[in-house]
Structure 1
Amino acid sequence: MSGFEEHRAVLLGLGYRLLGSMWDAEDVVQEAYLRWVRADRSEIREPRAFLVTVVTRLALDQLRSARVKREAYPGPWLPEPVHAGEFGPMETAELRDTLSYATLHLMERLSPPERAVFVLREAFEVPYEEIAGIVGATPAACRQTHHRAARRLSGGRDRFHPSAAEHGELLTRFLDAARDGDLTTLTELLSEDVVAYNDGGGKVRAALRPVTGRDNVVAFVTGLLARYPLDEVRIAESNGQPAVWTRLGGQEQLVTLDVRDGRIHAVFAVLNPDKLTRVRPA
């Protein structure tokens, strides 16, 4: 394992940002380790660059097959929530932003090569010359791909990210208003084009289509809470931001928000039990 373990957290963070699944990220990192063990170390001048290349290429292969599976997924497919501490220190705003749940969800819009170039450049500041060697393109093409990917995501990202305290305050207000049936406050908190996504994975009861528009989301949220008992509520952390762990009608779920310009633009509810193992409270 000599030389590998010091890079494991970075490699996991790379794999997770590319795949949106910690299970899959661990698989590609394990395969990268096996290739590291078998490699002629005397020919590897920069271990980190070698390992980043291997993980990215393995993740690209997984992404191409995952897109087909996700299209056949029962209901909306959402990323697997994780604790940010799994990936070591988040030393830059770019590392934090590309780990945020809303950004991960947005990156599903990108093609596998776009996502790889975007993550390598945006999160890890890999030079275009190195990215070119990893993805098999020219540096100029990688630069264009990065700009194209950033433009595709720009409509759903806020340059001025709310602090954890501001995010947590909005989350608490949303939860209180929903529990109290306070339609006025809910309406004030939600953007006009808000969307609620529910991922049950076909394993538990969940909405099979996104709920779109402020009025529909208000009706959906208040209807759920009127129909099912809210047995447990805890403020938690997911992907470096505040989240809510709840048990609604006996079903565990983690709820996170996309907050931009002081309003909630998306509500993400992960109910699929396979995706909750890493964030379930002790």
Structure 2
Amino acid sequence: MALADILHDRTARYFDLVNNPELLKGIDGLPIADSDFKDFPAKGTKIPDNWDVSFGDVLNWSKGRPTEAYFVMEDRTLLKNPDRTGSGYLTIPFIITKNTRNALLKYEYVINGIGKDYVSTVEMHPDDVFIVKNWGQVPSEMHSRNVEFIYDPLEEFLYVNIPYTSKSKEFKLGSTTMKDIETWFSGALETQASFRVKYDFSGPQFQKYHDLYRLHEEDFSLPKTWSAEPGTTHVGHDFCRGEWIFHGDHKHLHEAKKNIQDFYKDLVIGIEDIPHTTVSIV
């Protein structure tokens, strides 16, 4: 897409075909007959030439969560909501936003129409103005097909993912900067390490964990190059057991382990290293 097209990118339109079907019109300005679109996704995937829709517009046949929402592609075929969560939330995919430099503005009507609570994922170009304004300019070494920038408008996190690896980290809007992202990314390129923490608290240990230390309300303090992901968890009124998995650069492995030991204070936990597979980023 040419620079002029990027700068004059049109706002995507939203068509709620369940509650406001009259908004879908033909190029002649007349409403499309209900019978023409009522079961359209089941009939085919290409939009008729006389429908007044454009690339990036969203047609929604859903009655609740946008499980039956579709994006209009450049060839007028329909792309079903890819829903990265698997729970019926809208994902605005990179294939739609890759030539957009202001994805939230382009999809403002769509997000408001579907409801912010039902939009989980907006995949962005690294030069998106929202990223630049709130975190800073993305360095050139992070402009790669192997680095993804994904914004969650509900939780207000920017996720930076390195596909085909386990490396991913969230950066909170308003409290993190591009420096934080660069620090994490640089660490992700170094030799990696992972370890698992297992816990099984009951009786006095659970009372300390839950009532005295209230650790269930606290967050881990980790090096900026490290991240945590929960494993299996079982919780009852007088016990909890489960595990956490931690990933990061090998250089800060001992610091990460010490921080976890300090977090759990005198509670008994098990720590075991996880073999790491190195994946190149190009």
Q: Give the TM-score, by structure 1 length.
A: 0.24
Greater fraction strand: 2
Q: Give the TM-score, by structure 2 length.
A: 0.24
Greater fraction helix: 1
